[in-house]
Structure 1
Amino acid sequence: MAALVCCLVFLLLSGSAGAQDRLYEKEPFDRITLDEQNENAVLTVKPIDLPERRVPDPLPPRGKVTVQLVEKPDTAYEVQWQSIAKIELFEQIVLDEARKLAEAKQYEGAYDYFEYLEANAPATPGLNDAICDFLHLQFESFENAKLHENALAMLDEIHRRNPQRQLLSEELGRTIGSLVEQYLAKENHPAARALIESLARKFPQHALVAQWQTRWKDEGVRLLEQAKADLAAGRFRSADEAVRRQIRVWPQTPNAKETAQAVHDKYPRVVVGVASVARDLGPARLADWAARRSSRLVYRTLTEFLGPGTDGGKYQCPVGQMETEELGRRLVFRLKPGLRWSSGDAVLTSYDLARRLLALADPRDRAYCVEWDALLDQVSVADVYRVHADLRNPHVRPEAYLQTPLLPETIAASGADAPSWNGPFVLDARSDDRIVYVANDRYNIASARPKEVVERWFDRGIKAIAALGRREIDVLDRVNPWELRQLRQNKDLVVEPYAAPLVHCLIPNLRRPLPASATFRRALVYGINRKIILEHLLGENPPAGCRVISGPFSAGVSLQDPLAYAYDDTIEPRGYEPRLSLVLAEVARSELAAKDAQGQWKKLPGLVLAHPPHEIARVACTWIRDQLQVLGLAVALKELPPDACRPIPDDVDFVYAELAMWEPVADARRLLSAEGPSGGCSRYLGLALTQLDRAADWLQVSTRLRQIHRIAHDGVAVVPLWQIVDHFAYHRSLAGVGSRPVVLFQNVEAWQPEFHDSGGLP
């Protein structure tokens, strides 16, 4: 009885219960009511042997029927037909009971009765009409609750059973009309058109069909003419938006395909759905997904991380070549001639590069990098395109510190924030929910890249997925893990993992008393059921490489993953032990109370847990809050802009961070040192970081990083949660995206958006 399954939705919502004693579960019986001469006696008998289980109508005037009383099943009795006033078969009795339950709004019980009859006595007279009446009751309940989709499901099933039912056409029109308005308010024209098409198949002459199809045809023509006018006037962005909307509204518009092709050929444009919009376009941000993604559009840095390699990360120097000499104590840079920025007449020379290398070692400069300062000895200019950087000691991966933009002399000298982009795109327009980048005409690499890239913000993954399905966007830069399965079922899409996982953790604000307590941080680790939360985030068929972790570094995706060179696999993640968490939290409170002369620590205060403004962090932090509140610890959530842990706001205790710990030899200090987001560092951890700085080869690096892992684990320098391998999705019509990039736009120069005809364009 699959068609009735949809009824269960309302049953769950209404909470109604069925009869306690289900009649159909009893031994089947029939009832015979005798005539007045026999005092209208009622006989409960075993099911009567009747042809096709049908009661003769009218009852025979002569003859006998053999029956067995339920209470005396071994004895056969003969009853004269002329003495019988009425016969009720068991299936009819069950049907009558089903009707009563439905009328009493005991829907769950009624459903069970109807399901029994459809499975065991589908030929029962009146069954189909009774089910239609039952479905109509459900329809009315859904309509009253404004659950129009569920109401439509009821009407569709009624139509399947009885297309001629009275008032069905009017009710379908009213319900579909409400749904169409609802879908159009969400810009979901394909779903709205599908509803009208379904109505047309049922009732071709329905007034609603002509009304909406005429409206959409007219709007399609108007949008197509607008696109042509915009194209002729050189308003390419407007032309593309008009064409995209026209295809959504009415793809059957005549000449739509030719116009769409012309717009695409003239102005190939890619729209990317994003979960967070970049406020800061600084590259290589440790905890800012949006900045790492979008900075690649506008900047080519001195070095760029391409992904994990056999010894640390793989890097390239997109502005030239970088080599090591003098046994690793000298870096030699050879710049490509003729590289320019997006504005001005300057070209990149060795003098610009030398100034930038020195700025990275200058504590007064905004670009200051303490690790590079400790490493750099001197910088010398060999010629107009060649620079030498001499190091105090060799380093296994000095490239990790040089992921920095290069500025022309005028901007570098002034310290101004004027745009100095040297990437394939420049920022053209920004609003609350989107950023527009247009191709940089001065970019030195000739490519078939798009003329424009638009980042469009979505607050929920389900909205972005719907937009991807409607081709409002071409790419989704980050797929919620629990929605991966849904996207993989769409054969028009490619779902691809990124090259390296992110480390998720809670970073403590060591300027506040509770986060500064190692005992309390340990209590949090034991009080958060990380395994359960991760399983909830990942959903079914979790991707490889996602796991609970024991420290601040990535465990890699596979057993031999070189990315895991800092991770100590012998350290098991702490388990979920809520009782121990309660004890440790009380110990932490007592320790703080012992130092407090004002008596402010009689009980634990509430915590403020901040997180980035996107759905994965929002869902994870909600789970963390709920689990800690079960333990009696009040937690308030606070949404902050991306990279809000630089530094952590004063009123925040912990920040949920997703860290790109892709080069631990460089990233360990960025996260864990006193200059890191926590604002503090234990003496032991500080000493271990100093020893890491002096490591001369990969064996020493790995050994000291695993020592740092151990110290961070023991002291809970951060509250480790899990690592997740993120994915992105894009339409197959977008070529050149590449496999397993580090960030979405890593290969953007090779992107080639091809014209896509889904088959609906005439």
Structure 2
Amino acid sequence: MGVWIDKVADEICYRKYNSVKLPQLFALAAALSLLLSSSTQSAAQDEIVREEAELVDQEPFDLIVLKREAGGQSVKVFPIPFPNRQPPSSPNPSSRLTVVLVRFPEREYEVAWRDIDHVELYEQRIYDEAGALLDKKDFAGAMRNLSYLMKNYPQMGQLELLRQKFLFRSAADRFNKGDIAQSLSALEELRDTAPSYQPSVVMGGLSRAADMLVGDYQEKGDLASAKIILARLESKYGADLPVVASWKEKLDGLARQKMNEATQLMEKKEYRAARRAAVTMLGIVPDFPEGQQIIEEINRLHPMVRVGVMQQAGYLDPASLTNWPARRAGALVTRTLFQFRETGAEGGQYDFALGTFELSEDRQQLFLTIDPAANVGLDAFSLGQLLVDRANVDHQLYDPSWAAIFHSVSVPSAKSVIVQLRRPNVLPYALMQWMQRAIEDSASQSEDLLPGAYVEEPVEEREAAFRLQSSSRKDGQPVEIVEVFYEDPKAAVNDLLRGEIDVLDQLYPADARRLAADRRLTVGAYALPTSHMLIPVSENPFLANIKFRRALLYSVDRKSMLEGELLNSTNSGDGRLISGPFPLGDGQADLLAYAYNAAIEPADYSPQLARLLMIMATEEIELAATKRNESKPKLGKLTIGCPNFEFARVAVQAMVQQWKNIGIDAEVVLLPAGVTVEPSLNCDLVYAVATMWEPATDIERLLGGTGVAASDNPFIVRGLEQLRAAKNWREVRDALQDLHQLVHYHLPILPLWQVTDRLAVSRHVRGVEKNPVSLYHNVASWRVDLGSNDSVGTR
């Protein structure tokens, strides 16, 4: 069809313009109608009818409409380069317009102005179409056309008026449909960019929309968002704007109600509720005249610290290996005989709760001296007996790790105890991180012989309170610490910023970076990282197979998961993959990394290898069953126990999704509050977070006979025996690094990554270490100053 038209055009060109030698100029007025009429019937027969794209999606073209006597046709041509894209108002009828047809882009044609009825510019057609769409309330379509014109033809006449009409009509439509936020946004943009456009109508609508939106936020209890809107409107349009003036009056009334409530609660000595009311009051009106006075009075009468926590404590144990909340809260109510203080050149540095201690040069004797000033229920004779009981296999306090190194004890005086060890041991006191309770007929009534500074109050649904025991507290020392549980980290951060809580015990790196810029907060990192792992806890024959466990590990893209959805950070200081149970710290130069075998790389992500291992594991398991004359076991759905906090939930869910890619079906089971790794759990694997701060002894608590992931693998058992027999630090390091290699090969646990946890503290809580071992490590030094000008919740 196109070839035939080209032949006709060439013939006409030759006949009409051969004398001027312009073979590619075409007299449209004389020949165009002939071309179109001769081709219409054939085109209808030969070409496939195609649905034309929206005008704004087509290549730009102008439309030339011929007069009736010239054929009355309209022809698409490439945009004509008129000056300022404006066709001449009174062209010379005898002059010609040179154009390029969209259909024949390789040649130019001419048409006499006397044969042209009018020219429709591409941008004008889009403008007209936008107006029509706006009349039909097709705001999406109108916006599309408008955006195109503003980007490509910003100087077009009347374009600004079209934009103003669009904003006004779309704002009204959004308002009528209940989308108040979008309506307000459109009206603000209209007012800011076109203040002369129906000013009274626009400002009236803006005030009405803002009033409804602020009221909606107030009903939801989100006063922070309401105040942001009011502050923005006041800054832009002044305090006389009706919505600003009316809501200022309402908020002052709400603040006064909370002030009266706080005062009444103080009179009843309900200080915890009074504190909440006072903080809410300052959240409503930060500069409320009497606000700071009430806060200072509460602080004077009953200073407290509210701590936001991501995990609730089900029980209290300051030495727990795998239970973060038990370890955190346990430090408030009880002390262990020995307490880890910090890492040192050779293992950790420890404090003795009763006084001082010294290890002999041959590392076979431990000298314990009780401080006469220590007000505890333990003297040297009682302590000596407790050490003997811990080594007695028939006693309820029996500790096999201690029994393995303990030989005898002597008590030369009422304040000194000498412990004789079976063999030299580099860290005997690391095995003595015990809570000490007097044994009574009823275990529930047993007395804590090493009580902490605080005592636990009755627990509420989402709060746990701890009251200071000492009657001689120091000025500003918190008389009460309240732990507030949050499932949503964002809600916890918001409450920290508005002053509802004073401390947040765990932060994502992204939140930590954002909060570090706030002068009202101090953001720190815990001194030691946590090691995250999966622990098999069921008798599932597949989990007993090394190849299957290795397939679980190879099928998970741990690096992308950790750096992406978990941490949103590629900084190794925030987290890094590990190949064994031990933490790597900041690297091999870190004192914490003495157990880590750097020659062992973390398992790579290899789903192909994981599938192969799955096949091999299945064959081995089925063959073993056949030899025992048992039916072949089937791999059912695995259940993964997950502590109920967001980091763990996201991690486990991501692993479950990736295991599906190799044919392993699994489901997440959220563990009850405070529960981590327990034999009674009805799970196949448990996600655990371990504090492996002293690998030389903690590996026994992890994999030993009574450990949370006890292993009966003969190679692991033998490795632990070699560690116990180590007499010096060189032998300890060698044994630990050998154990690292054995764990990497046999996988009694599936190592995932280490994470550096962070915390945030309001500046009105003084004395909190920036890099504590655990949150309440130095709680005795905490001081509260809620009257500070830097108080969170005020600006």
Same fold (TM over 0.5): yes
Alignment of 1:142-221 (within 5 A): 149=181, 152-162=184-194, 164=197, 168=202, 172=206, 176=210, 179-180=213-214, 183-184=217-218, 187-200=221-234, 201-202=236-237, 208-221=243-256
Alignment equivalent of 2:125, drawn from 88, 93, 107: 93
Match of 1:728?
A: 759
Match for residue 501 of structure 1? 529
Distance 1:148 1:649 in 2: 53
Listed as ranges, the gaps of 5+ residues in structure 2 are 1-50
TM-aligned CA distance change 1:20 to 1:50, over 3 Å: closer
1:324 corresponds, among 341, 345, 359, to 359
Pick aligned residue for 2:339 from 291, 300, 304: 304
Contact kept in structure 2, 1:24 and 1:113, CA below 8 Å: no
Mapped to 1, the partners of 2:78 and 2:612 lie a distance apart of 68
Secondary structure, aligned partner of 1:430: coil
- In structure 2, the partner of 1:567 is 596
Q: RMSD of the TM alignment (CA)?
A: 3.7
Match status 1:395 vs 2:425:
yes
Preserved CA contact (<8 Å) 2:711 2:748: no
Could you tell me how far apart the structure 1 residues matched to 2:179 and 2:419 are?
68
Q: Deviations over 1:458-513 (max 9, x none)?
A: 10211111111212111110112453333334343222111111111111125332
Match of 1:532?
560
Farther-moved stretch of structure 1 (699-708 vs 182-191): 182-191
CA deviation profile, 1:217-259 (whole Å, cap 9, x unmatched): 1121122123234435544333322211111122243222222
Distance verdict in 2 for CA 1:396–1:193, change over 3 Å: same
The match for 2:789 is 757
Q: Counterpart of 1:354?
A: 384
- Partner residue of 1:462? 490
Q: Structure 1 length normalisation: TM-score?
A: 0.86
SS in structure 1 at match of 2:452: coil
Equivalence for 1:337? 372
Structure 1 window deviating more from structure 2 (43-52 vs 657-666): it is: 43-52
Change (3 A) 1:128 1:373: farther
> Corresponding residue for 1:6?
none
In structure 2, relative to structure 1, the CA distance for the partners of 1:100 and 1:585 (3 Å cut) is: farther
Structure 1 vs Structure 2: percent identity of aligned residues?
30
Quote how far apart the aligned CAs of 1:39 are: 7.7
Change (3 A) 1:390 1:252: same
Whichever residue aligns with residue 439 of structure 1, its letter is: L
Moved more, 535-544 or 611-620: 535-544
CA deviation string 1:265-293 (max 9, x = no partner): 33322111110011111111111111111
Cross-structure match for 2:457: 428
Closer, same or farther in 2 for the Cα pair 1:50/1:591, shift >3 Å? Answer: closer
Are the equivalent residues in 2 in contact too, given 1:545–1:557 (CA < 8 A)? no
Matches within 5 A, 1:277-676: 277-325=312-360, 327-340=362-375, 347-363=377-393, 367-407=397-437, 409=438, 415-417=443-445, 420=448, 422-441=451-470, 448-509=476-537, 511-536=539-564, 537-544=566-573, 546-596=575-625, 601=632, 603-641=634-672, 644-676=675-707
**Contact kept in structure 2, 1:611 and 1:639, CA below 8 Å:** yes
Q: CA distance change for structure 1 residues 680 and 331 in 2, over 3 Å: closer, same or farther?
A: same
Contact 2:711 2:717 in 1 (8 A): no
AA matched with 2:588: L
Within 5 Å, give how 1:712-751 maps onto structure 2: 712-751=743-782
Distance 1:517 1:362, change over 3 A: same
Indicate conservation of the 8 Å contact 1:547/1:722, yes or no.
Answer: yes
- Structure 1 counterpart SS, 2:451: coil
Partner Cα separation in structure 2 for residue 661 and residue 174 of structure 1: 59
Q: Hey, what's the Cα distance between the residues in 2 that align with 1:620 and 1:143?
A: 42
Matching of residue 706 in structure 1 with residue 741 in structure 2: no
Distance 1:512 1:603, change over 3 A: closer
1:123 aligns with 2:155: yes
Q: Relative to 1, partners in 2 of residues 1:758 and 1:283: Cα closer, same or farther, differing over 3 Å?
A: closer
CA distance in 1, matches of 2:474, 2:238: 57
Give the drift of 1:603: 3.9
CA distance in 2 between counterparts of 1:100 and 1:314 reads 79
Q: What is the aligned residue count?
A: 732
Please give the alpha-carbon distance, in whole angstroms, between the structure 2 residues aligned to 1:182 and 1:324: 67
Aligned partners of 2:311 and 2:674 also within 8 Å: no
CA contact (8 A) 2:475 2:783 kept: no
Give unmatched runs, 5+ long, in structure 1.
1-17, 342-346
What do the CA deviations read for 1:337-395 (whole angstroms, capped 9, x no partner)?
34446xxxxx4433443344334334455544221121222233333332222222221
* TM-score normalized by the length of structure 2: 0.82
Q: Given the alignment of the two structures, is residue 244 of structure 1 paired with residue 244 of structure 2, yes or no?
A: no
CA contact (8 A) 1:593 1:599 kept: no
Equivalence for 1:14: none
1:104-133 residue CA offsets vs partner (Å, 9 max, x unmatched)? 898877656434432343232343344455
Aligned to 2:300: 265
Secondary structure, aligned partner of 2:458: strand
**Cα deviations by residue, 1:606-654 (Å, 9 ceiling, x for unpaired):** 1111111111110000110000012111001111146645434352111
Contact 1:68 1:76 survives alignment (8 Å): yes
What letter matches 1:188 in structure 2? D
Deviation for aligned residue 1:37:
8.0
Is the partner of 1:745 in helix, strand or coil?
coil
| CA displacement at 1:586 relative to structure 2 | 2.5
When residues 447 and 207 of structure 1 are mapped into structure 2, their CA distance, relative to the original with a 3 A threshold, is closer
- Quickly say closer, same or farther: Cα 1:106–1:681, change in 2 above 3 A: farther
Task: Give 2:752's aligned amino acid.
Answer: L
Moved more, 526-535 or 541-550: 541-550
Counterpart residue identity of residue 403, structure 2? D
